[in-house]
Amino acid sequence: MKEIKEYIRDILNFPKEGIVFKDISPLLNHSDTFTRVIEMWKERYANRGIDTVVGVEARGFVFASAVAYAIGAGCVMIRKPGKLPYKTFTKTYDLEYGTDTIEVHQDAIDPGNKVLVIDDVLATGGTMEAVLELLMDNFNCELVEVTFLMELSFLGGRDKMKNLPVHSLVVY
């Protein structure tokens, strides 16, 4: 997907030394490419009976809401602690240096819903692994697929996707 890659810029040493951050700001600001990304997901998911699109904080929200609108589904946010105003289910998970926590509203997904999970990047897979566990442990739903704008395949995150189908628009 050369067209998409043209609008993802590398930022060296962000957020810390040795990291090459994939900045999607130019893609979001280029209306033709952003529209094409959403259309690609719409083509893939429009006829799959998806009821709910789950977006992961924070850049995943941008894609999840647009895809949900495009396919006629609801949209749910997975957030950091203290950001959701209603009762939540919580999942704490390990990072390389410490832990992190994510939350979702307890009434976010109806039983039997078909769910698509979207985020911007699949790197090591730790956050998405926690998202999937949060959903599987607390909702009687069908996880259809996990999709990403881009995948950093050399980091092996796909291996943590709980045997779910994984789709990435761009792979590095």
Catalytic amino acids?
Answer: 59, 96
Task: List all residues 6 or more positions away from 79 whose beta carbon is below 8 Å from its beta carbon.
Answer: 57, 102, 103, 104
Give the other-Cβ count within 10 Å of 17's Cβ: 7
Q: Quick one: which of 168, 169, 172 has its CA closest to 155?
A: 172
Alpha helices in the chain (DSSP H): 2-5, 25-29, 31-45, 59-71, 126-138
> Within its chain, how far is the Cα of 92 from the centroid?
17
Residues 6+ apart with CB under 8 A from 63: 37, 38, 41, 55, 118, 119, 120, 149
Contact (CB, 8 A) for 119 and 161: no
